Amino acid sequence: MRVVTLASADDFDGWRDAARALAAASVPPDDVVWQVGEAATDLFGGAPTPVPEAGATAFSVSRLFLDTARNVALHSAPERWALLYTALSRLRTAPRLMEDGADPLVRRLEGLAKAVRRDIHKMRAFVRFRQLVDPDGAERYVAWFEPEHHIVRANATFFVNRFAGMRWSILTPEVTIHWTGERLEEGPGATRAEAPEGDPVEEVWKTYYASIFNPARLKVGAMVKEMPRKYWKNMPETALVPALIAGAQARESGMIEQARTNLGSGIGGNIETAWAALRDEAAGCTRCPLYKDATQTVFGEGPVDARLMFVGEQPGDQEDLAGKPFVGPAGQVFDRALGEAGVDRSTVYVTNAVKHFKFEQRGKRRIHSKPGAGEIEACRWWIEQEQMLIRPKMTVALGATAARALLGRTVTISRERGRAFELPGDGGMGWITVHPSFLLRLPDEAAKREEYARFVEDLRAAAAAMD
Amino acid sequence: MAQLDTREKLAILADAAKYDASCASSGTAKRNSRDGKGIGSTEGMGICHAYAPDGRCISLLKILLTNSCIFDCHYCINRKSSNVRRARFTADEVVRLTLSFYKRNYIEGLFLSSGIIGSSNYTMEQLVEVARSLREDHDFRGYIHLKTIPDADPELVHKAGLYADRVSINVELPTSGGLKRLAPEKSEARIEGAMGDMKSAIVETGDATKRFKSAPRFAPAGQSTQMIVGADAATDGDIVRKASTLYDRFGLRRVYYSAFSPIPDASAVLPLQRPPLMREHRLYQSDWLMRFYDYQPAEVVAAADPATGMLPLDIDPKLAWALRFREHFPVDVNRAPRERLLRVPGLGVKAVDRIVAARRWRRLRLDDVARLTVSIAKVRPFVIAEDWRPVALTDRAELKPLVAPRPKAQQMELFG
């Protein structure tokens, strides 16, 4: 049994010299015990065999291995030295072993190296200096940090490169490093109590941390993944985290509530202007392919303070040409029924679930074609915007397409017709009835009269249900 | 207005700056202050010094010089008609704040933007003065990101590029219709014109630096932009196409996507409901597919629902593409070229490179692939290995439930 004693927990050079000699002498990995400092070795009994002197049979290894090994050497796992030596022994016969990521040993070493690189990176990120002012007025910066691996010496260059003009110290349990402004000095491990207590600028930093946080997009998991809790105790700003999370939802709903109030009172923008801007934007809509064949977007129409909103299916041939909703035959039936129901057409807002005319060309005629679920879905964006601006007390869906646009699901008219219900997402009340074109299509005159009366009654009842 | 102290101003002007998603401090020239003069360094790789509970990285001191603004963009908390409290930093205050944070290792540098006050030129001068003072008076060698003002004098914008690592102008909305509705005083042509000028300046000085070592560096971390998602009618397909055009035309380093989120004292023109944060995430994933996985914009768009133009929220766009174009699978991990391996759901760029390196030394079995990847379960239906062949799995209609992540119900919206 050979015992190699390394000078320190991060003594990569010591490991390399010993490993090179052992490998040159073909000492199998099982015959070597690696230890750091003067740890007890009599566990194995007997006097250790001395490590051979480095011979002339030294061999070279790939850069990839050296880079990986340098990081692995800093890991806190005690078996790292033995794993590295095992890999080195195998490299003699398989010089490109490190390229084979499917090899379990290579995988293991890569995992260790990755953990070390992450710890190095997190130290660069999470060290927090506190400023001290010496009696002579000179500034010093001191940090307390608890790394997971033996990375402090390896990381010193980063801090020197960045803060060469300052005097600073980083205290850790294993070692302390000091930059005098000219050279790096090293001392024994320290305790947290030796680090300074606070720094008035930390309060300013915490103000920044709290203010840059957006409460409307809470993603606690993403935060914890990148800033693991083990680092929190030495970072002043993390003390704010629980309160920020706890208050986030209330702040977000407060903002939405405020926006609603503003809408109602006309603060924060004129609704008329907002509606006109929305209509202008819709004129260029390409959210689904229907815009290609239609003449124009047919947007909703009516006063923006309407309490009653009607949603039809889609513009027909005449609406498409006129650019106005409900001007064709079905629109005329609708107007008449509305009048008979005692509702003043000029006080209601009318719009369609789908804002472009979908048709099939048959000779010279354009035959209405029912919009598909995808087109309804694509166009829902506009209905939602219209509803949000106008905020009607009651929205009446005329037909299955409109009902689908309002509810986001397939609706059977006969089953859900004729009663008021709550629309999802605080959209006020809803009501479902048939589309006036249904009345036009009925062949039987008696049925037509009967259904028309039922339609008028629906409109009347919907208007009455508002109050 | 009562005098505000620096900390009160910071609260207002950081709050006003948080709707800019970018906090990157990467991709610039390497610098250090080892010579004992000045302060600071940059490493190429950025460092996130903290994370806020919104999951966003805090790398830079991201503030506005002032949140007063003569514009009235509806999505913006700082618009003229907003009742938000106003504040203004002096250049010197920003410089001192930056240095005192930097010396304590809180930040990598400064990201400075501003509301428009007086004129575009006046605002730009103020921004440039902060950067000038940091670089020249204090020899600051950390990272500086400056927002540039679209209509500012080219001479000023050029100065900004000499002091800053990165410059940016936000295109704000993915469609010109949206921009017209939500930011009536801004113009797509002017924004894109400014981006074009910036690109020429970056390219020119880049060439000069190649020929003369002493030529001044100009915005070595390039330029970036941001689009707001969910405030206008743009579909995911529209956004992907727009982003790809921007990358091509202006040589952008990054396009940021920011899901519109409710702001205090919102304008009536804005939707009240924010889009799911997952939508923003899916757009970033599709951006990655174009930048690192050799997907053409049209291919990413093909992963979206043809009727609505929207990417699925429940699965990532790469998986969506694979499920739509199953004829491209399975892919043989032992034979397929790199670009075909990059199409396999669950295989990242690193995993693909590891597979390509490892297969020179052995025929890869499924266990080997498992050691080279994060999750073999997602990969398995799409690959052939030495001891593995999916049994017509890619033809099965019910493949999606096998490979899609289980929905997290309520969690998605809050923590997704």
Over residues B19-38, mean pLDDT:
89
Q: Is residue A153 located within the same domain as residue A222?
A: no
Count of domains forming chain A: 4
pLDDT at B416: 31
Q: Which of A265, A285, A305 is the last residue of a domain?
A: A265
d(CA B358, CA B292) in angstroms, rounded, equals 21
Distances (CA, A) of B72 to B81, B115, B191: 6, 11, 16
Which residues fall within 8 angstroms of residue A210, CB to CB, at 6 or more apart? A240, A244, B11
Which residue of chain B is at minimal alpha-carbon distance from A139?
B103
Closest CA to A306 of A191, A389, A410, A192: A389
- Which pLDDT band holds residue B211 (cuts at 50, 70, 90)? confident
pLDDT at B69: 94
Q: How far is A241 from chain B (nearest CA, A)?
A: 7
Per residue in A300-315, pLDDT tens? 999 988 999 999 999 9
pLDDT at B272: 60
The CATH number covering residue A363 comes to 3.40.470.10
Q: Is residue A135 located within the same domain as residue A183?
A: yes
The whole domain housing A37 covers: 2-120
Residue type for B203, please? Answer: V
pLDDT at A388: 83
Q: Is residue A450 located within the same domain as residue A334?
A: yes
Do B32 and A164 make contact, defined as CB atoms within 8 angstroms? yes
Q: Which of A219, A248, A262 lies nearest to residue B266, judging by beta carbons?
A: A262
Q: Is residue A247 located within the same domain as residue A332?
A: no
Alpha helices in A164-270 (DSSP H): 201-212, 220-226, 241-265
d(CA A382, CA B218) in angstroms, rounded, equals 44
Q: Is residue B181 located within the same domain as residue B51?
A: yes
Q: Is residue B78 located within the same domain as residue B199?
A: yes
Contacts of A161 in chain B (CB under 8 A): 32-34, 41
Pairing mode, strands B60-64 and B57-58: unpaired
Closest CA to A146 of A203, A76, A213, A79: A76
User: For residue A236, how many C-alpha atoms fall within 13 Å in the half-sphere facing its CB?
Assistant: 24
Give percent of chain B with pLDDT exceeding 70: 91
The whole domain housing B364 covers: 317-415
More confident residue, A389 or A141: A141
Closest CA to A227 of B56, B391, B29, B154: B56
Name the helix (H) or strand (E) containing B288.
Answer: helix B277-292
N- to C-terminal Cα separation, chain B: 41
CA A464 to chain centre: 45
This prediction has a pTM of 0.86
Do A166 and B39 make contact, defined as CB atoms within 8 angstroms? yes
d(CA B24, CA B15) in angstroms, rounded, equals 18
d(CA A159, CA A189) in angstroms, rounded, equals 18
Pairing mode, strands B57-58 and B50-51: antiparallel
Q: What does the angle CA A166 – CA A171 – CA A172 come to, to the nearest 5 degrees?
A: 145
Q: Is residue A380 located within the same domain as residue A364?
A: yes
Q: Which of A107, A129, A273 lies nearest to residue B371, judging by beta carbons?
A: A107
Q: Which of A171, A194, A217 is the last residue of a domain?
A: A194
ipTM: 0.92
Per residue in A117-141, pLDDT tens? 999 999 999 999 999 998 888 999 9
Over residues B94-114, mean pLDDT:
97
d(CA A143, CA A140) in angstroms, rounded, equals 10
> Which of B201-205, B222-226, B386-390 is predicted least confidently?
B201-205
Arithmetic mean of pLDDT over chain A = 91
Do B106 and A213 make contact, defined as CB atoms within 8 angstroms? no
Q: Is residue A206 located within the same domain as residue A61?
A: no
Which residue of chain A is at minimal alpha-carbon distance from B57?
A223
- Which pLDDT band holds residue A47 (cuts at 50, 70, 90)? low
Name the helix (H) or strand (E) containing B297.
Answer: helix B297-302
Over residues B127-131, mean pLDDT:
97
Instruction: Output Rg (C-alpha) for chain A, integer angstroms.
Output: 38
Q: Is residue A145 located within the same domain as residue A90?
A: no
Q: Which of B205, B223, B241 is the last residue of a domain?
A: B223
Report yes or no on B291 lying in a domain.
no
Q: Is the pLDDT of residue B273 over 80?
A: no
Over residues B203-226, mean pLDDT:
81
Instruction: Output Rg (C-alpha) for chain B, integer angstroms.
Output: 24
Closest CA to B99 of A194, A355, A166: A166
Q: Is the pLDDT of residue B410 over 50?
A: no
Q: Is residue A311 located within the same domain as residue A163?
A: no
Over residues A53-60, mean pLDDT:
63
pLDDT at B412: 38
Q: Is the pLDDT of residue B203 over 80?
A: yes
Do A277 and B269 make contact, defined as CB atoms within 8 angstroms? yes
pLDDT at B251: 92
Q: Is the pLDDT of residue A267 over 50?
A: no
Q: Which of B100, B264, B371 lies nearest to residue A104, judging by beta carbons?
A: B371
Q: Which of A88, A120, A152 is the last residue of a domain?
A: A120
Per residue in B295-336, pLDDT tens? 999 999 999 998 889 999 999 999 999 999 999 999 999 999
Q: Is the pLDDT of residue B123 over 80?
A: yes
Count of domains forming chain B: 2
Q: How far is A114 from chain B (nearest CA, A)?
A: 13
B175's tokens = 């469609």
Strand order in the sheet with A184-188: A130-133, A139-144, A168-171, A175-179, A184-188
Closest CA to B280 of B56, B16, B49: B56
